[in-house]
Amino acid sequence: MAEDKSEGLVKIRRALISVSDKTGIVDFARELKRFGVEIISTGGTAKALREHGIEVRDVSDVTGFPEMMDGRIKTLHPKIHGALLALRDNPDHVAAMKQHAIEPIDMVVINLYPFEQTVLNGATLDQAIEQIDIGGPAMIRSAAKNFCDVAVVVSVEHYAAVTEEMKRSDGAISAGTRQKLARHAFNLTAMYDMRISSHLTSSLLDIGESRSHGIGMGGGGGGVSFSKVFAQRAAAQMKSLVEQGLLMLHKRNDLRYGENPHQQAALYDVGWDGGVANAALLNGKEMSFNNYVDADAAWQLVSDFESNACAIIKHTNPAGAALGATGEEAYRRALACDPISAFGGIVAFNREVDEAGARAVVEIFSEVIIAPDYDDSALEVLRTKKNLRVLLAGDAKAAEGLEYKQISGGMLVQSRDSQQMKREELKVVSKRAPTEYEIDDLIFAWTVCKHTKSNAIVYAHDKQTVGVGAGQMSRVDSVKIGAMRAQLPIKGSVLASDAFFPFRDGIDEAAKHGIVAVIQPGGSVRDEEIVAAANEHGLAMMLTGVRHFKH
């Protein structure tokens, strides 16, 4: 069959094959041979094809140069790129090909060195650099640029469709298919370069780790100035955000709808392992947009604890959170904080769920449970609830990297709030110092507060939330709402505030309910007044010097 450009068909006479992932390549090459296609190939691919009886011409025979420098130089040659880039209906291009004995190549079949997988496997920087493909992307881009004459196949998933079209068209590929293949090709090289850029940025930039520990206030209540502390810590956390950023998204699947039924939605991942986006659904209906948002909030909260923890999330805020000797104990203690709001919530554990924990969870209706793993008996129990979505998320570890928030006309980018408070970083500013037991509760409450929408107030006792006030426009209102919603006794509990108290009214209100200690960042112009209020009520107060706004 002759080429029929009027119908957009191009006969495939010569193909270059060079693949790292050799899945399916032998069968695909055999199909090409059935159409009389001459195959050109490189080192390992050529060897694999020959071992299966497929005749192959070495690239070195085409270029006149051997592969060299440990395979770094193979296909970077005019007889390869000229064969791909030449426009077949351009007389000058045709004449140049004839003058330099360049034979046209009609198809390239390429997949790239596994850079991403190498990095995920814990490779050193030198090992990762050796997995940066040079010749592959160059050939892909040459072929894709000239899709009017060349077909570029960059995925194992495309082999069958290309073969079927060639069968229908006597060995030819249509213009429409070549355009689609080119689009896939450019997407591949863009994502490949983005991953390399991202890894090298994090590996090569000199990231300062200096931290400021000075609070500047004695136990008796001298003046407090946090402006320098905040500025120094913010500078240390900037992590040299690059001038230009790429965020490449891979569509995983469509969702039924977004936050509301009239909104369209889909799940994308960013090409990295782990996280809620990559969690396996072991049971239940497909996840909704809101399920993913709430599950991520729950997962990030429990991932901030080293001890056995459980969190129950409703609309991204904790209805309850607690530590426990077992998963069941942690769950029941979290549930006790607000069992009414917990109905229809998302439950997260940071340890494997056993049968006892699973039986506790299914006592009420929950939308989602997420955990690092489940034993067989736990899964059997959870699967008795056909609508309960069961997510397997792998190791519970705090998210790293950057956060992106879209605004109209742009994107906000920031480093994640990965700060975890240590005892030695806290500063006592009240006359009464907290007990060791109270410090444990203060750190627990502070950690939960970090994952609660601002203005955030968390009451806690014995590493269990007692009351939560979230998302209010006034901090004193959050204090009141947290106490109002408490189902457990507040007396004897501690209080965490995600930001400073602008007035003493929040402290006065909390003291009415019998709290014993407060943890907050400090930094208000009225800090001395706030500390004085704590002293008047006999409260212990500790300052963190760190704010945890969550919008």
Per-residue pLDDT of 194-229, as tens digits, reads 777 766 766 654 333 333 333 333 333 333 444 454
Q: What is the per-residue pLDDT for 203?
A: 60
268-392 and 419-543 agree in CATH topology? yes
- Is the pLDDT reported for residue 466 higher than 80? yes
- Is the pLDDT reported for residue 114 higher than 90? no
Q: What is the per-residue pLDDT for 327?
A: 96
Is this structure's pTM higher than 0.85?
no
Each residue of 44-81: pLDDT tens digit?
Answer: 888 889 999 988 888 887 877 777 776 677 777 877 88
User: Is residue 405 annotated as part of the catalytic site, yes or no?
Assistant: no
* All residues at 6 or more sequence positions from 377 whose CB lies less than 8 Å from its CB, including other chains: 354, 355, 358
Quote the CA–CA distance of 10 and 262 in Å, as a whole number.
44
Q: What is the per-residue pLDDT for 243?
A: 56
Residue whose entry in the numeric block shows the structure tokens 């009017």: 148
Q: What is the per-residue pLDDT for 210?
A: 34
Average pLDDT taken over every residue of the chain: 86
Quote the CA–CA distance of 57 and 59 in Å, as a whole number.
7
Q: Is the separation of the CB atoms in 107 and 173 below 8 Å?
A: yes
The stretches of 486-549 forming alpha helices (DSSP H) are: 505-511, 527-536
CATH for 9-200, among 3.40.190.10, 3.40.50.300, 3.40.50.1380, 3.40.30.10? Answer: 3.40.50.1380
Residue whose entry in the numeric block shows the structure tokens 């599950």: 295
Options 184, 315, 385, 397, the catalytic residue: 315
Quote the CA–CA distance of 360 and 327 in Å, as a whole number.
9
Each residue of 496-523: pLDDT tens digit?
Answer: 999 999 999 999 999 999 999 999 999 9
Q: What is the per-residue pLDDT for 71?
A: 66
User: Is residue 385 annotated as part of the catalytic site, yes or no?
Assistant: no
Name the superfamily (CATH) of residues 419-543.
AICAR transformylase, duplication domain (3.40.140.20)
CA atoms within 13 A on the CB side of 295: 26
- Is the pLDDT reported for residue 470 higher than 50? yes
Q: What is the per-residue pLDDT for 404?
A: 87
Residue whose entry in the numeric block shows the structure tokens 């208000």: 524
Residue whose entry in the numeric block shows the structure tokens 């880039």: 85
Each residue of 351-384: pLDDT tens digit?
Answer: 999 999 999 999 999 999 999 999 999 999 999 9
Name the superfamily (CATH) of residues 268-392.
AICAR transformylase, duplication domain (3.40.140.20)
Helix axis angle, 135-145 relative to 175-204, nearest 10°? 150
CA dihedral 160, 163, 165, 170 (to 10 degrees): -170
* The two three-digit tokens of residue 95, written as one number: 């004449």
* 3 state SS of 73: strand
Q: 225 or 182: whose pLDDT is higher?
A: 182
CA atoms within 13 A on the CB side of 86: 24
* The two three-digit tokens of residue 499, written as one number: 């930001």
| Residue 330 vs residues 306, 350, 403, 544: alpha-carbon distances, Å | 13, 10, 29, 26
The DSSP annotation for 210-231 comes to: ---------TT------HHHHH
Q: Which stretch of DSSP H or E encloses residue 392?
A: strand 389-392
- Secondary structure, 3-state, 128-194: HHHCCCCHHHHHHHHHHHCCCCCEEECCHHHHHHHHHHHHHCCCEECHHHHHHHHHHHHHHHHHHHH
Q: What is the per-residue pLDDT for 503?
A: 96
User: Could you tell me how many residues make up the chain?
Assistant: 551
**What is the DSSP pairing of strand 250-255 with strand 14-19?**
unpaired
Q: Is the separation of the CB atoms in 115 and 133 below 8 Å?
A: yes
* The two three-digit tokens of residue 251, written as one number: 């569509």
For residue 152, list its beta bridge partners: 108
Q: How confident is the model at residue 238 (pLDDT cuts 50, 70, 90)?
A: very low
Domain residue spans of the chain: 9-200, 268-392, 419-543
Each residue of 249-301: pLDDT tens digit?
Answer: 778 899 999 999 999 999 988 766 678 999 999 999 999 999 999 999 999 99
- Tell me the average pLDDT across 225-248: 50
Q: What is the per-residue pLDDT for 244?
A: 52
Each residue of 329-352: pLDDT tens digit?
Answer: 999 999 999 999 999 999 999 999
**What is the DSSP pairing of strand 427-428 with strand 540-543?**
antiparallel
Options 145, 397, 431, 550, the catalytic residue: 145
Q: What is the per-residue pLDDT for 461?
A: 98
